Amino acid sequence: MTFRELGLVDPILKALEKEGYKNPTPIQEQSIPILLKGKDLLGCAQTGTGKTAAFGIPILQNIYLDEHRGKGQRKIKALVVTPTRELAIQIGDSFTKYGKFTGLRNTVIFGGVKQRAQTDALRRGVDILVATPGRLLDLIDQGFISLKHIEYFVLDEADHMLDMGFIHAIRKIIDKIPEKRQSLFFSATMPPSIVKLSGKILGEPEKVTIRPQQATADRVEQAVYFVSKKSKPKLLEHILEHQDEDEQGNLGATLVFSRTKYGADKIVKKLRRSEISADAIHGNKSQGQRQRTLGKFKNGETRVLVATDIAARGIDVSGLAYVINYDLPNVPETYVHRIGRTGRANASGLALSFCNLDERPYLRDIQKLISQKIPVITDHQYVDEREDDDPPVPVKKQSARRNHKSRSNNSNGGSNNNPRRKKRNTWRKKR
């Protein structure tokens, strides 16, 4: 299937070609025809599947082809609501990329920064607005935004919206948009609260499920280290120091998850002391700092980014080689979101988790959710020796050794003939 076969117009095809997109991802292949027909959509898919283009492209095309699009002041016709500023910025960038040759304009609004630049952009007129809920309601109350002309409404990462307590804000927003509209609803997981919310927003939607509910990204290879809390810093350093280089001598970009902001700063300090370039991204950092940090990580200046879950939403770095769960999350779905940061659209990745004795129950919950036993790397010097009532199933000796040295638990991981490594190297080179 090609993008042309999906019936896309030339200006969009040209933009996709410029982006180097050859074929639609499964969610794009399934969603684009539904959305071009104007139907509502309920998408069960996580970030990393290409879902932004899956909803962005048809919205751009539908607005572009709308004959009634007046010549006067632009009115906001599409609204995308998303939980975090990083995600909002990323979605805005995607609209800019895919809509480059359509003449349509978008802008992004989010809290935590002065509103002036945002209200200036709104005054100049936009067709598509990407927003986080709080700032959106704030600017509506101040009279800078009217949602009266919305024809396309997207609620993105609905499960995170609820986790972050945005339910009332969402209800208020829905009350302000016209009933006659096309609605799109995306969520990585579909617990009953989300199904209920989707019922309030959607008419009779078509459903697209890209990953079965609660499944882990297939392409992501996973492993866990049993390690005491005290030894986690040393293990992290050890892994980073033994990461494989690609053919150009580059080391993989690594995203490390910490449960707390304080913990994230501490990890960064320790890594820097060992001369590993690292930075932290979390809610205590200003928006400017977060953007700068992310920029440096994306262009390869910083090798390790240490993030808390909230701050990491929306981080999309092509070529992210590793995700390391320095702390295991107590909400198993969070694990799925975290490891989805690697193994993006056309790439493979590796997710390593550190698990101390207190975190074993979290590991059990995660394994239950993903219906998989995560292989345990036993052959390392920081093993947590204490007894556990659920002893791990170790990976094979050979592969465990390999795992410890590098990062793969493929049994022939050390060989240059390893197809997986070749694949990863080619992909890393693209960064």
Q: Which residues form the interface with ligand AMP (CB under 6 A)?
A: 21, 24-25, 28, 47-53, 316, 318, 344-346
Give per-residue burial for 29-61: e unless 16+ CB within 10 Å, then b: bbbbebbbeebbbbbbbbbbbbbbbbbbbbbbb
* CB of residue 317 to ligand AMP, shortest distance in Å: 8
Q: Which is nearer to ligand AMP, 232 or 313 (CB)?
A: 313
CA-based end-to-end distance of the chain: 26
3-state secondary structure of 122: helix
Q: Which is nearer to ligand AMP, 91 or 223 (CB)?
A: 91
How does DSSP assign 169-228, residue by residue?
A: HHHHHHHHS-SSSEEEEEES---HHHHHHHHHH-SS-EEEESS-TTPPPTTEEEEEEEB-
C-alpha distances in Å from residue 169, one per residue of 26, 66, 81, 172, 283: 32, 30, 11, 5, 20
3-state secondary structure of 1: coil
Which residues share a beta bridge with 186? 43
* Max CA distance (Å), the chain: 72
List the structure tokens of 202.
């959607």
319 sits in the region (left: phi over 0; alpha: psi -120 to 50; else beta) called left
Residue 194 near residue 162, CB atoms below 8 Å? yes
Tell me how far apart the alpha carbons of residues 135 and 170 are, in angstroms, rounded to a whole number.
12
* CB of residue 194 to ligand AMP, shortest distance in Å: 18
DSSP 4: G
Q: Which is nearer to ligand AMP, 35 or 374 (CB)?
A: 35
* CB of residue 125 to ligand AMP, shortest distance in Å: 26
Count helices and strands (H / E) in the chain: 17, 14
Residue 416 neighbours by CB distance under 10 Å:
8
DSSP 395: P
Rounding to the nearest 10 degrees, give the CA dihedral for residues 300, 304, 309, 312.
-10
* CB of residue 132 to ligand AMP, shortest distance in Å: 17
DSSP 285: S
CA-nearest of 355, 347, 344, 342 to 383 is 355
* CB of residue 119 to ligand AMP, shortest distance in Å: 28
Q: Which is nearer to ligand AMP, 296 or 405 (CB)?
A: 296
Q: Which is nearer to ligand AMP, 51 or 402 (CB)?
A: 51
Q: Which is nearer to ligand AMP, 145 or 347 (CB)?
A: 347
Residue 91 near residue 56, CB atoms below 8 Å? yes
Chain centroid, CA 420 distance in Å: 23
